Chain A
Amino acid sequence: MTTLQSAHEPALTFDFRPTLQPNRLKGLWQMMSDYRLSYIAATAALAISALSKTFTYILLRFFADDVLGQKKYIGDSLTSSLIWIGLGFIGLAAFEGSFAFLSGRLAAYTAEGITRRLRDFLFDHIQRLSFSYHAITPTGDLIERVTSDVDALRRFFSEQAIGVGRIVLLFVINFVAIYNLNSELALVSVVVIPVILLVSIWFFKKVTKAYEDYQAQEALLSTTLQENLTGVRVVKAFARQDYEKSKFEKDNWGKYLKGKILLFMHSMFWPLSDIVLGFQMLFGFVYGANMAIRGEITLGTYIAYIGLVVWLIWPIRNLGRIIVSTSTGMVSYGRLMEVVKQQREPLLDGRHQPEGPARGDLVFEDVSFMYSDGKSDVLRNVSFHAKPGQAVALLGSTGSGKTSLVNLLPRFHEYTGGRVLLDGVELKDYSRAYLRKQIGIVEQEPFLFSRTIRENIMYGVGRDVPMEEVEHAAKAAAVHDVILTFPDGYNTLVGEKGVTLSGGQKQRVAIARTLLKNPRILILDDSTSSVDTETEAEIREALNGLMQNRTTFIIAHRIQSVMIADLILVLDKGEVVQMGTHAELLKDPNGMYRRIYDIQTKIDAELENEISRVN
């Protein structure tokens, strides 16, 4: 499936599919490839920075013991020694600061770099997933994954992965430093560390739970608020303001109470851990002071110790928080991998790669189609022949299989039985990219993008189009005059920040878009008729122009729309029940076509009746 890393695809820097690993940590490590070096460098810089800080205290020890205590001077005087020591402090701080910055910058480079290519990959990957995947996956769910879950991974790389490293390094370096000063002192300084680590992990797990409760209550409150504001007419019409106030009051107070619980937990944990860690420090101070008084350690050692021990003890509390929060990153990794593991639709695979455009000769031979769940046939034994330039109309009710049939042509779905031949070659031998280039689709209410009208018309043409050509297409689609009435003409934005187009206008923009694309095969969806009468004639005219010299499939429900077709297929429950021209089909008195025709004639008659009744 992954054969197509050709020039056709944009240069994506990284393929995330190999990062799908049963072991999540291993997968995350895979994701870091190319950035591992910078991550390691960030950690190393952090170590150097931490070491520099440690050496600040060692220098303080030298200052106290050697210079002040034993009068061992650098150079020949106290003054020159003091200058050197002062410069030493400044130098160490500069070192510490520079490496801290370097580490921060490298960590940001790693995290932001990985996130960027992850976003790029997901965007590209998801749009290459099959049509059926998109049909069954809710947009909201996908959006949630590509935003929140990606962000959780970003935090994993930028804060958690490096944060754990930072605290562990601080601990190790300062422990080793104190151990070197005096091993006994080092050991008495860390007595409560394992306890506090375990307790903080336990606490932050609890807090995470309480926080989720708090957020759930907040969501409830938001829902009440949103429903009230969007339903303001109902509230006012029933004069239910007081009721609404008391309902909101309940949720509002509920949030206050949940917040109180959360805060109580915090206000217990922090001071209690303060006491434990504070007494651990004090214990070290007293123990060290007594050693110093007994002469077991020097005064300088003691001074260095009380500086270093701070960096040994206090960060441990936060380690618990970070460890607990990594679980979020892990869960997000899993959720993203569910998307990553989906099979892509190979766009370029195909044995038959013709040079020029297709002629548009389509033969269906006993074609059947069912969805992969295999429950029921959507299409059964469909056979017909559409010659180049002919118009084929598909007539039938909802669920009769019209849309499924045309979806086979661009290979949105693959037929499961029989064969479809385009210019004598089976459809499955063509690449999807080639087929889609040959096919244009105009839907009843087409999807337009929030770009300018001009960009929407040019969308998907894949080449630079001069303005005259765009205007020409718009004129042919009978939408040019409408566009000129918009504030910025062709540069007017469509949608949220620009103009809202009516259904008919959207359709004509789509016709212009298709005219520019100039496909050999055309699919027109005409199955609903919400367009008002005035524009219908214009659209019809634009469509007729579009159909010239193209093999056209018209999805329709109204006899008027299909009468002119060269071939009409009447579909019912996935089967072609009748086939022929308008004149031929009318001849069968028991046929479905005749029935639909009769109904529509009847409708017209009823209308006439009603009108004449009142007259």
Chain B
Amino acid sequence: MSEELIELEEEEFTSQLTAPVFKRILGLLKPHWKWVLGFLLTIAITSALDAYFTYLNKQFIDQGIVLKDTARVLHLATIYGGFIILQAGTVFTFIYLAGVLGERIQYDLRKMLFNHLQDLSLSYYAQNAVGRLIARVTSDTGRVSELLTWGLVDSTWSAMNIISSTVFMLIINWRLALIVLMIIPIMIFIAIEFRKRILEQFRISRRANSKITGAFNENFQGTRVVKALGREDENTREFQGLTTRMYHASYRAAWLSALFLPTVQIIAALALGFIVGYGGLQIQIGNMTIGGIQAFVAYLTFMLWPIQELARVYAETQHSIASAERIFKLVDTPPDIHNRPDAVEAKTLLGEIEFDHVDFFYEDRKSVLSDFTLKVNAGETIALVGPTGGGKSTIVNLLCRFYEPSKGVIRINGRDYMDYKLESIHNKIGIVLQTPHLFSGTVRENIRYGDLKADDSRVEEAAKIAGAHDFIVTLEKGYEQNVGESGNLLSVGQKQLISLARAVLARPELFIMDEATSSVDTLTESLIQRGMEALMKGRTSFVIAHRLSTIRRANRILVIENGRIAEQGTHAELLKLRGHYYRLYTQQFRHQLEVAYGVAEPVDGGEREGVSADSIMLKREKPSEEAVSAD
């Protein structure tokens, strides 16, 4: 699911402000209260000055022109000029304070979320799409900070503008001011109703828009089918249905927006007409001045803007609160897997590892692994084979303590591994994933990820052991070559070699490898093989195996199907059984040799362009075992 779709979906949720949430949102401002006070004060002054300028204009007329007092005009102009400069100062201050504080709050929230995400366990990731988590850190934080800064600025400005205008109007003529006071709530009410409807149409149009993008995407990717089946005309007709829907929604949103201001304006004009008529009479009896009338006209004309702003902030507030609630919910999620209070350091993982009747299932889901029992001696290599979704990755995830058993115990050197400190297990494990995951940065940085303290010579030594050195030096910038986003500038085989080197550098005691199914060229293939062998030497290894050589070399092979061990034994023993393993093996054997002899084409494990990012998120969507093994 794309980020856009997630955002759309989440926009559906609006929340009413409850006291605890409100308190918590305000709590975000607490460390920065001086800044908040600063911008609230300066925006209030700015707003009051706006109203005061209109009042000064009245004075120009009534005290200057009507009384023909040039000195008074100059005096008023001096005051006016002084306040222009003062206002420039307050404008500078509130833009800077509110704006920078907004960035700061976003920074704080992102930091808080990211750090918490690092502590959450893998099962959380399996159940929450990456796209959603990204939306938390990017758009939700933005929306909350927007509310807390510009939302406050705009509503303060609006409220202050309405209040100070009203005060000045009351000073000029309280009877007329009361009339204005009566229509303000009506205008605000109408404005809010308009806003809601506009937002609704806007959302419909955005949803239509994401469908349109989807249709484009699918049509581009399926070009061959479209052309072969001659579907062009029908596709266009269907597409026109989508654009028509989009057209209606966005047209409606646009003209509702266009209707909004005039409507409020006309209501204001009704009051205005009355004020001019009634005010004219008041002038006759000396209750009103001509400058006063002018001021009323100006106040009413410009009152549209604060009302519009208030309505906007109000309508958006509900979404911002929903964002805040989502952020709080994530931060409040405790990590499933954490150190026990009396956890001890695991001195070594080299020793007996035992799965004792282990079950694993997700919350309210059917079991992924059941009654799994296995004893492994130090230095053994265990190959896990079997169909996708059978439970192989779960075993590996349990072993790494990314998951913990739902039932049963896993023991390392005879002790329940939950007694050990998490870090002390993790920093003794080396892992190479099926689709190797690299980070943006140089080759060297990626290998050094295995041991941050390693110097350059150790990095290169690890690369040599893993068989990656030779290709790295052929890169234009060698070890300093940039690998691109997620390592995408390198081939799959190269990425595997680098992740092997990374694992070598970590000097693990337990090595875990999820072999890639996609093929690489023969040379790289043999390099990877050699690198793996180097890594497995003297270590306990678990390999989710696809390559015959790996399978054959294993001390023991486990065929995992439907969350259970279907068969187990050595290569020879299992072949004799002529069961699951035999079928898997012969098929793989034939295919691999065909590829090797060049008579068959390797299965393409590469990702289709344009869908890769989405499909990663999509896979994460489903809390299945596959989801977590996908990377």
User: What's the least CB distance linking B453 to chain A, in Å?
Assistant: 11
Assuming the A-B contacts A127-B226, A147-B213, A238-B426, are A275 and B88 also in contact, with contact meaning beta carbons closer than 8 angstroms in the complex? yes
Closest chain A residue to B84, Cβ basis: A278
Assuming the A-B contacts A89-B269, A245-B115, A285-B60, are A271 and B88 also in contact, with contact meaning beta carbons closer than 8 angstroms in the complex? yes
A275 and B49 alpha carbons, distance in the complex (Å): 13
Assuming the A-B contacts A8-B233, A101-B259, are A233 and B433 also in contact, with contact meaning beta carbons closer than 8 angstroms in the complex? yes
Interface stretch of the complex, out of B163-171, B182-190, B319-327, B591-599 = B591-599
Provide the residues of chain A in CB contact with B281, threshold 8 Å: 78-79, 82
User: What's the least CB distance linking A551 to chain B, in Å?
Assistant: 16
B152 CB within 8 Å of chain A = no
Provide the residues of chain A in CB contact with B452, threshold 8 Å: 240, 243
Cβ contact of B235, chosen from A123, A225, A527, cutoff 8 A:
A123
Provide the residues of chain B in CB contact with A78, threshold 8 Å: 280-281, 284
The answer to whether B233 touches A230 (Cβ under 8 A) is: no
A232 and B631 alpha carbons, distance in the complex (Å): 9
Provide the residues of chain A in CB contact with B429, threshold 8 Å: 237
B455 CB within 8 Å of chain A = no
Provide the residues of chain B in CB contact with A10, threshold 8 Å: 233, 236-237, 240
A97 and B110 alpha carbons, distance in the complex (Å): 44
Interface stretch of the complex, out of A28-36, A138-146, A353-361 = A138-146
Provide the residues of chain A in CB contact with B233, threshold 8 Å: 8-10
Cβ contact of B61, chosen from A100, A120, A236, A303, cutoff 8 A:
A303
User: What's the least CB distance linking A607 to chain B, in Å?
Assistant: 5
Interface stretch of the complex, out of B246-254, B339-347, B410-418, B558-566 = B246-254
B104 CB within 8 Å of chain A = yes
Provide the residues of chain B in CB contact with A113, threshold 8 Å: 247
B506 CB within 8 Å of chain A = yes
Interface stretch of the complex, out of B20-28, B116-124, B306-314, B470-478 = B116-124
Scoring A79, A146, A289 by chain B CB atoms within 10 A of each residue's CB, the highest score goes to A289
A498 and B104 alpha carbons, distance in the complex (Å): 42
User: What's the least CB distance linking A316 to chain B, in Å?
Assistant: 17
User: What's the least CB distance linking B275 to chain A, in Å?
Assistant: 8
Provide the residues of chain B in CB contact with A496, threshold 8 Å: 1, 618
The answer to whether B449 touches A238 (Cβ under 8 A) is: yes
A260 CB within 8 Å of chain B = yes
A113 and B590 alpha carbons, distance in the complex (Å): 59
The answer to whether A226 touches B130 (Cβ under 8 A) is: yes
Provide the residues of chain A in CB contact with B383, threshold 8 Å: none
A46 and B227 alpha carbons, distance in the complex (Å): 48
The answer to whether A603 touches B594 (Cβ under 8 A) is: yes
Cβ contact of A126, chosen from B110, B220, B587, cutoff 8 A:
B220
The answer to whether A108 touches B273 (Cβ under 8 A) is: no
The answer to whether A120 touches B84 (Cβ under 8 A) is: no
A607 and B586 alpha carbons, distance in the complex (Å): 7
The answer to whether B269 touches A93 (Cβ under 8 A) is: yes
A447 CB within 8 Å of chain B = yes
Query: Range of interface residues on chain B?
Result: 35 or more
B13 CB within 8 Å of chain A = no
Interface stretch of the complex, out of B63-71, B173-181, B357-365, B460-468 = B63-71
A292 and B72 alpha carbons, distance in the complex (Å): 14
Closest chain A residue to B621, Cβ basis: A496
A601 and B400 alpha carbons, distance in the complex (Å): 43
The answer to whether B426 touches A237 (Cβ under 8 A) is: yes
Interface stretch of the complex, out of B93-101, B374-382, B526-534, B535-543 = B93-101
Assuming the A-B contacts A139-B217, A227-B440, are A285 and B100 also in contact, with contact meaning beta carbons closer than 8 angstroms in the complex? no
Assuming the A-B contacts A12-B236, A138-B610, are A93 and B225 also in contact, with contact meaning beta carbons closer than 8 angstroms in the complex? no
Cβ contact of A614, chosen from B119, B575, B609, cutoff 8 A:
B575
Provide the residues of chain A in CB contact with B278, threshold 8 Å: 82
The answer to whether A230 touches B107 (Cβ under 8 A) is: no
Closest chain B residue to A102, Cβ basis: B258
Assuming the A-B contacts A63-B276, A96-B265, A225-B134, are A275 and B84 also in contact, with contact meaning beta carbons closer than 8 angstroms in the complex? yes
The answer to whether A223 touches B84 (Cβ under 8 A) is: no
Cβ contact of B589, chosen from A86, A101, A449, A607, cutoff 8 A:
A607
A138 and B220 alpha carbons, distance in the complex (Å): 9
Cβ contact of A94, chosen from B68, B243, B266, B616, cutoff 8 A:
B266
Interface stretch of the complex, out of A169-177, A204-212, A415-423, A431-439 = A431-439
Closest chain A residue to B393, Cβ basis: A233
A230 and B477 alpha carbons, distance in the complex (Å): 27
Assuming the A-B contacts A85-B277, A256-B104, are A249 and B111 also in contact, with contact meaning beta carbons closer than 8 angstroms in the complex? yes
The answer to whether B57 touches A63 (Cβ under 8 A) is: no
Provide the residues of chain B in CB contact with A397, threshold 8 Å: 598-599, 601
Provide the residues of chain A in CB contact with B439, threshold 8 Å: 227, 231
Assuming the A-B contacts A128-B232, A557-B601, A603-B593, are A143 and B213 also in contact, with contact meaning beta carbons closer than 8 angstroms in the complex? yes
B287 CB within 8 Å of chain A = no
B520 CB within 8 Å of chain A = no
Interface stretch of the complex, out of B30-38, B73-81, B191-199, B348-356 = B73-81
A600 and B590 alpha carbons, distance in the complex (Å): 8
Interface stretch of the complex, out of A181-189, A374-382, A472-480, A529-537 = A529-537
Q: 6 tightest A-B contacts by CB?
A: A104-B258, A460-B229, A93-B269, A97-B262, A108-B254, A139-B610
- Given A63-B293, A147-B212, A607-B586: 8 more A-B contacts, CB < 8 Å: A227-B437, A229-B133, A239-B427, A252-B114, A259-B103, A299-B290, A347-B232, A614-B572
